Structure 1
Amino acid sequence: MKKEFAVIGLGRFGGSICRSLTELGMEVMAIDNNEERVNEFSMIATHAVVGNTTDETVLKSLGIRNFEHVIVAIGDDIQASILTTLILKELGVKHITVKAQNDYHEKVLRKIGADHVVHPERDMGRRIAQNIVSNNVLDYLELSDEHSIVEIVASEKIIGKSIVDLDIRAKFGVNIVAIKRNKDIIVSPIANEVIHANDILIVIGADSDINRFEKKLIDL
């Protein structure tokens, strides 16, 4: 069965999520109070509706509680974002993801029960910064304010050495959770797994520890 999603707010962030979910074959209801935006998504989403989501009767009439996951991607109107989230919570929506404008907004959203809060601009900024300052880091995914998963290209200094030889966990406090090798992915590699040329290490840990590990790659 296809999962059913509702996306509230069809700006750049909400619109991108709406398109991506549709491309993945999901059922998506797109909602915005701007008729022009709704018309733009009428041929993309499963349903596209003009509506004021700060009005409980509107959300009830859309059957919003029947959706497995609702994404609140309202742009600059923090009050509308908070009120919409509160109503969704009171209506019993199973899972709510909300875009936050700032840390204060996030704090309020978490207090009223948002399941997941995202800062798309901030997080993307961090991701881009992480990638452009390092030649070794290919990709970066923030897990929390202090922990991440990164893809790091194996440097010449560690090629031919095993994970146990490198003793990365003891020295740096990070874990290699997988290795990408050509088209294969080695999940939870064993201690005597030897690092090959062009291997990509998928590393998880605190940002400070990952940074220490990445800086030391050329000095190991």
Structure 2
Amino acid sequence: MEMFEKKARSYFGIIGIGRFGQAIAEALVGYGARVIVMDRNEDNLTNVQNIVEEVVIGDATDEQTLIDSGFQYTDLVIVSFAEDLATSILATMLLKEIGVKKLIAKARNLLHLRILKKIGADEVVLPEADSGRRLASKLISPGFQELLEITPGYAIADILIPESFEGKNLIEIDLRNKFKVNALAIKRNNGEVLISPEPHTQFQKNDVITILGKDSDLKTLSNQ
């Protein structure tokens, strides 16, 4: 995508390529981001190997494998599986220990969520199997310009910013604490796209923000 300057192409890592991980990889690549993915199962990587920058067949509980693969140089890593609690917890811990700047992990239940938070996950996603509520949120929230379900109950959404955001930066808006969502990108009216925007990035009129979060939180933000 020619609109992206090289310096703007942030680097994302994804551990585990199931439906959840694949959807995130495809969305990030679609916005011009660099993406590295790791999975122990080679078959799982076939669906993304032709679109991401690098695929690694490896064990995320092996610290040296993570280092050799360069995950410590990414801007953000997503641990996208939750079925194997022990592996999820160990991978999260090792990624933070090798210096990953920001980490989002998927949890299987509330106890798993608490453990992931304790060991350093910056954000934890706890999917809820409620696609009906997701559809209802989309239908009654006119602020949604696009919505991609990444797992039942959670989505990546493009939302036109409310007027109250104009002229303010991400620190002032404080999306994570006020709305419990994470900003992945900002799309300007002139076609410019900012991947993983800096905290001091100011919103401009008619900006569209790409966010990851729980459906109910996306709805709250879009109704501002």
TM class by shorter chain equals 0.5 to 0.7
Aligned to 2:56: 49
Cα RMSD for the two superposed structures: 2.7
SS at match of 1:13: helix
Deviations 1:132-167 (A, max 9, x none): 7xxx445789xxxxxxxxx9xxxxxxxxxxxxxxxx
- Give the number of aligned pairs: 146
Could you tell me the TM-score, scaled by structure 1's length?
0.59
1:37 alignment partner AA? N
Aligned partner (choices 104, 109, 112) of residue 116 of structure 2: 109
SS at match of 1:5: strand
Alignment CA distance shift 1:186-1:58 (3 Å): closer
Q: What is the rounded CA distance, in whole Å, between the counterparts of 1:118 and 1:124 in structure 2? A: 16
Q: What is the rounded CA distance, in whole Å, between the counterparts of 1:186 and 1:11 in structure 2? A: 34
Alignment CA distance shift 1:113-1:123 (3 Å): farther
Q: What is the rounded CA distance, in whole Å, between the counterparts of 2:12 and 2:69 in structure 1? A: 12
Q: Post-superposition shift, 1:48?
A: 0.9
Q: Post-superposition shift, 1:63?
A: 1.5
SS at match of 1:43: coil
Query: Following TM superposition, where does structure 1 have runs of at least 4 consecutive aligned residues deviating by more than 6 angstroms?
Result: none
Higher-RCO chain (CA-CA 8 Å, sequence separation at least 6): 2
Q: Which runs of 5+ in 1 are unaligned?
A: 142-150, 152-184, 188-200, 205-220
Deviations 1:11-69 (A, max 9, x none): 00001001111111111001100011123321011111101001111111112111111
SS at match of 1:42: coil
Identity of aligned residues (%): 39
Could you tell me the TM-score, scaled by structure 2's length?
0.58
Q: Max radius of gyration: which structure? A: 1
1:44 alignment partner AA? I
2:36 maps to 1:29: yes
Alignment CA distance shift 1:94-1:138 (3 Å): same
Q: Which runs of 5+ in 2 are unaligned?
A: 1-6, 148-158, 160-204, 208-220
